[in-house]
Structure 1
Amino acid sequence: MANTQMKPAAALLLFLNFCMYVIVLGIGAWSMNRAIDYGFIIGPGFKLPAHFSPIYFPMGNAATGFFVTFAMLAGVVGVASAIAGINHIRSWNASSLPSAASIAGVAWTFTLLAMGFACKEIELEIRNARLRTMEAFLIILTVTQLVYIAAIHGGA
């Protein structure tokens, strides 16, 4: 990879994406913890409520459970993408590109899926400020992850 002009841009996008994925994981972990602590409580007769859902979240709306689940998956794969990206940025050669590009593509796909659920959650309207923050971060991450993929391929 003789072209090193894209290396600073890729490194900046990698750092930005890493920070944003960690924030998404933090908010997602808070949401998951809150759902576990304040979700449906099964009484002594072990009767489930009429509209029981295993991904019920006490805050937000009907899309929140799917949104948080896929946002956390996107966050974990995004952090893994950043780790592979750091290795690629350090060596910046053709042999490290396939691993960085493939995991970045998988992270972008999960982020795109989570962004779809974020759009559905925005459409349904009832959500708190933390969920709005996570929605905004995932929408931004969808674009920046795609630009990062283009930047590391631009150095080829």
Structure 2
Amino acid sequence: MESEGQIAIERANHVVANTNTSDFQLQSFNSVNALLIGSFDLCYYHEIELEFHEVSYINLPTIGLCSPRFAIAESNIRTAHAYLELDDTDILFEIINDPDFSGQRYYIAAENLTVREGLVYHYQRDELKDGERIAPWVKP
């Protein structure tokens, strides 16, 4: 399972490094799954979603992540978080906020991570192109 998480992490880091997707926010957390979205302009749309599945721990600001770098926490970090009593199925994901400036580290323990790309509008609009969609929280 961790290798799938690593593939998702690598894809997310590639998007941050090679596009103008620099701002991230925690869009939702329903006590099971957490959805982190990223864009250049979160007011109107987002271009990447990181959905953490079966979340058992979350330490993350709701807004204000800037050009984060994503990783799976190394064993010494996981050991430092032993008080969380994570299951063997839990992956401790590390999110480093603005690594070139502040480097503040945040953590999410989850069983899996899914990364989705595509333009997701935060408002109602007609004539969507292939790969585009309206965010599920937008009311018609």
TM-score using structure 1 length? 0.29
Query: Greater helix share, 1 or 2?
Result: 1
Q: Which structure has greater strand proportion?
A: 2
Larger RCO (alpha carbons 8 Å, 6+ apart): 1
- Determine which structure has more spread, i.e. the larger CA radius of gyration: 1
